[in-house]
Amino acid sequence: MIRKLLRRVFRRGPLAEHPVETIAANRHGIRREQVSPGARRVCETLQKEGYRAYVVGGAVRDLIAGIEPKDFDVATDATPDQVRSLFRRSRIIGRRFQIVHVMQGAETLEVSTFRAAHDEDTLKDEHGRVLRDNVWGSMGADAARRDFTINALYYDPVREEVLDYHRGVEDLQKKTLRMIGDPRLRFREDPVRMLRAVRLAAKLGLRLDPKVEAPIAEMAKLIDNVPVARLFDEMLKLLFSGYAVECVKRLRQEGLHHGLLPLLDVILEQPLGEKFVMLSLASTDERVRAGKAVSPGFLFATLLWHEALANWASRKKAGELPMPALHAAMDAVLDQQAEKLAITRRIIGDIKEIWALQPRFEKRSGRAPLRLLEQPRFRAAWDFLVLRAASGEIDGELSEWWREFQEAGDDRRNEMLLPEAAKKRRRSRSRGRNTPGNPAPESA
103 forms beta bridges with: 108
345 pLDDT above the threshold of 80: yes
pLDDT at residue number 250: 86
18 pLDDT above the threshold of 80: no
The per-residue pLDDT for range 181-201, each reduced to its tens digit, is: 999 999 998 999 998 999 999
pLDDT at residue number 298: 94
**φ/ψ bin of 335: left (φ > 0), alpha (ψ from -120 to 50), beta (otherwise):** alpha
CA–CA distance, 200 with 362 (Å, rounded to integer): 42
Residue range(s) in the chain whose domain bears CATH number 1.10.110: 181-260
**Known catalytic residue at 71:** yes
Are 383 and 298 spatial neighbours (Cβ–Cβ below 8 Å)? yes
pLDDT at residue number 139: 92
263 pLDDT above the threshold of 80: no
Q: Which of 73, 133, 142, 285 is catalytic?
A: 73
CA–CA distance, 123 with 133 (Å, rounded to integer): 8
Residue range(s) in the chain whose domain bears CATH number 3.30.460.10: 1-174
| CB atoms inside a 10 Å sphere around CB 32 | 13
**Known catalytic residue at 77:** no
The per-residue pLDDT for range 73-90, each reduced to its tens digit, is: 999 999 999 999 999 999
Q: Which of 77, 142, 147, 171 is catalytic?
A: 147
Give the residue-averaged pLDDT of 89-93: 94
Give the residue-averaged pLDDT of 331-358: 88
Q: Tell me the CB-side half-sphere exposure of residue 429, using CA atoms within 13 A.
A: 6
* pLDDT band with cut points at 50, 70 and 90 for residue 422: very low
Least confident piece of the model among 269-283, 306-320, 353-367: 269-283
**Domain spanning 1-174: which superfamily?**
Beta Polymerase, domain 2 (3.30.460.10)
Residue range(s) in the chain whose domain bears CATH number 1.10.3090.10: 261-287+295-433
**Known catalytic residue at 182:** no
Give the residue-averaged pLDDT of 214-225: 87
The per-residue pLDDT for range 119-162, each reduced to its tens digit, is: 555 555 555 555 555 678 899 999 998 999 999 999 999 999 99
Give the residue-averaged pLDDT of 214-236: 85
pLDDT at residue number 376: 92
CA–CA distance, 181 with 83 (Å, rounded to integer): 30
- Please give the CATH number for the structural domain made up of 261-287+295-433: 1.10.3090.10
- Please give the CATH number for the structural domain made up of 181-260: 1.10.110
